[in-house]
Structure 1
Amino acid sequence: MPRPLLRLLGLALLLLGASHPTWAEAPERIVSLAPAMTEILFALGLDEQVVGITSVCDRPEAARDKTRVGGMSNPSLEAILALKPELVVMTTDGNPKHIADQLQRFGIPIHVFTPRRLSEIPGGIRELGARVGAEKAADTLAVELETLLKTPPRFAAGEGPKALFVIWPEPLIVAGPGTLIDDALTLIGYVNIAADAGTAYPRFSVEEALRRKPEIIFLGLGHDRDNPRTQRLLQRLAPAGLDHPGRIVSVGDALYRAGPRLPAGIVEISPGQGFEPERADR
């Protein structure tokens, strides 16, 4: 028998004996194909129901003992089916559509998390909570974020300090328009100097960044001051006075994912968290 047919036969055999729940039933076996989805599911109290995650799902700590089914962009269909999931949770931000199509062909229910903007996340959390039978916990998470979204900005629109959020120091890659990070900066009242870029995560030259005169720079997770790449970036920023305390702030990865740590990420870049950005004369 040709190898492709053997592979299909094997996949079909994995499904024998598996019963798929109706949409009215809360799934007892869930596979998460994105780090943010894993974080949300655990925050909803579904630790026991999550049976599989991807190789890049690293939070919370308790999730690291779950079975890995491959990468976010290239999960193993065989590994997913072997876990006999009653629901596979996916996202449009990183999971390929063909994986969703393949799962549906095998009769595996899926839930696709579609929100990508900060204002859309509470609704997405509630939809996921309804799908997995955790409406109350989902509403609690959603309300926490909605409360921050309703908070008046620290600075008036267009009047806040010019900010740059560094995703990678060398080459210099920053957070541009359409990202959760840009939304968070805007929410607080910062002026993202990369907001007019043509892509979500544009590559900047240090000279271009300096030309735009940022007044505060956020260094994303992993770019500590002792990192050689970060050191070289700081040295090139020094002549502009940006190496002074409070002008460059190291932060975590909470704003990188559409998950339950978003409120903490917003607070982390807010003035008063150990720094107070000052506006230069304009």
Structure 2
Amino acid sequence: MFTSLWRSALIALLATASVPAWATQRCVVDDDQRELCLAAPAQRIIALSPGATEWVYDAGAGERLVGAVSFSDYPPQANQLPRVGSYQRLDLEALLALQPDLVVAWRSGNPRSQVDTLIRLGVPVYFAEPGDFAGISATVHRLATLAGTEAIGHPRAAAFADEVAALRERYRTATPVTLFYQVWDDPLMTVNDTHFISEAVRLCGGINLFGALPRLTPKLDLEAVLAADPQVIVSGGMGEDDHRWVDAWRRFPSLQAVQAGHLFFVAPSTLQRPSLRLLLGTRALCDHLDQVRSDG
């Protein structure tokens, strides 16, 4: 196996050896605090998570993608990309056969040993882990730099940051609304205040009732939610129009969120995936909390 891995890696290195000497070097620091420099704009990019696939498209470099992992489903054309395994288990043979000159890895989600193998074979790897809105903007900005698509990616990253700042200012003095966000159903799970979903909640003037818990995605007992009695319950689901999780709360009529009809669904790909589309989910969340305020 590794003989063929080395052969594929050698092919990739020889392909980049023909880059003209005058090409401008492109350097960024990734989310693993590693400096990554490319001698020329990346032309053959592989993304190792669905989120990474979106970041590359957000950066204006979608046409440079030659491979992705399973469940990379947005934008729609991403469904046509060759697959190199899943984010949890990479197919290194398939990946190296595509001769990438840049791999975008998910820092905490991909198997580190496999990604380290790519690095040892000389494949340029950018580790991404945007944990907040600023990190998403920075990721898109850096990938645009590596791909030479600054004219597209940099304005998009800046516009995203500007719109986030506008939302923060708009809701700075909004009446607080207590909220439970359900990220999973079995086991029942939420997010704490270090998660980007909680940043979206705060942007809209919401209070995450479980934000102080130590784990990023803590498990909860049903009784904890009933005792907290949130004004609002927000959930995604197993699909983009799957309301079953949020509708299931109707069986607890004692909850004020149920009594007031403040049970809301937000498509998970717009609020649980850290791409520029997070702004869409945040706006939807803000609209829901505005409804709660208007209902009194």
What TM-score range do you get, normalising by the shorter chain? 0.7 to 0.9
User: Equivalent residue of 1:84, what SS?
Assistant: coil
Residue 267 to residue 146, structure 1, CA distance change in 2 (3 Å): same
Q: Distance in 2 between matches of 1:93 and 1:138?
A: 24
Shift of 1:144: 2.4
Q: State the 1:187 CA deviation.
A: 1.5
Counterpart position of 2:3: 9
Output the CA distance in 2 between the equivalents of 1:272 and 1:184: 12
Aligned to 1:271: 287
1:160 aligned onto 2:176: yes
Are residues 1:239 and 2:254 paired? yes
**1:113 has 2:128 as partner:** yes
Going from structure 1 to structure 2, the CA distance change for 1:109 and 1:233 (only over 3 Å counts) comes to same
- Give the fraction of aligned pairs with identical amino acids, expressed as a percent: 25
The TM-score, its normalising length taken from structure 1, stands at 0.87
Alignment partners' CA distance in 2, 1:200 and 1:114: 14
Structure richer in helix, relative to its length = 2
Amino acid at match of 1:192: N
In structure 2, distance between residues paired with 1:225 and 1:141:
30
- 2:165 is equivalent to residue 150 of structure 1: yes
What is the Cα-based RMSD across aligned positions, in Å? 2.5
Q: How far does residue 231 in structure 1 lie from its aligned partner after superposition? A: 4.7
Amino acid at match of 2:227: R
Give CA-to-partner distance per residue, 1:54-75, whole Å, 9 cap, x none. Answer: 0121211100011111110211
Matched, 1:77 2:92: yes
Aligned to 1:27: 42
User: Which residue number corresponds to residue 186 of structure 1?
Assistant: 202
* TM-fit CA distance, 1:160: 0.6
User: What CA distance in whole angstroms lies between the structure 2 residues aligned with 1:105 and 1:175?
Assistant: 35
Alpha-carbon distance between aligned partners in 1 of 2:103 and 2:242, rounded to the nearest angstrom: 39
What residue number does 1:3 align with? none
The answer (yes or no) to whether the contact 1:145–1:262 under 8 Å persists in 2 is no
Shift of 1:99: 2.4
Q: Secondary structure at the match of 1:68?
A: coil
The C-alpha deviation readout for 1:232-259, integer Å capped at 9, x for no partner, is: 43313x2224225651111012121221
**What aligned pairs does 1:45-60 form with structure 2 within 5 A after superposition?**
45-60=60-75
Partners of 1:244 and 1:133 in 2: CA distance: 53
Query: CA–CA distance in 2 between the matches of 1:37 and 1:65?
Result: 16
Task: Show CA shifts across 1:97-131 (max 9, x none).
Answer: 22221111111111112321222221222111101
Contact 1:246–1:277 (Cα < 8 Å) also in 2? no
Q: How many residues align?
A: 271
SS of the counterpart of 2:286? Answer: coil
Q: Is the 8 A contact 2:60 2:153 kept in 1?
A: no
Q: CA deviation at 1:188?
A: 1.6
For structure 2, the residue ranges without an aligned partner over 5 or more in a row are 17-24, 26-37
Q: In structure 2, what is the Cα distance between the partners aligned to 1:230 and 1:265?
A: 16
Q: Does 1:208 align with 2:224?
A: yes
Residue 41 of structure 1 aligns to a residue whose secondary structure is helix
Rounded to whole Å, the distance in 2 between the matches of 1:77 and 1:126 is 27
- TM-score, with structure 2 as normaliser: 0.83
Distance, in Å, in 2 between the alignment partners of 1:24 and 1:133 is 11
- The corresponding residue for 1:125 is 140
| Unaligned segments of structure 1, at least 5 residues | 1-6
* Contact 2:177 2:232 survives alignment (8 Å): yes
Equivalent residue for 2:188, pick from 172, 182, 185 = 172
Who is 1:90 aligned against? 105
Contact 2:45 2:100 in 1 (8 A): yes
CA distance in 2, matches of 1:80, 1:59: 20
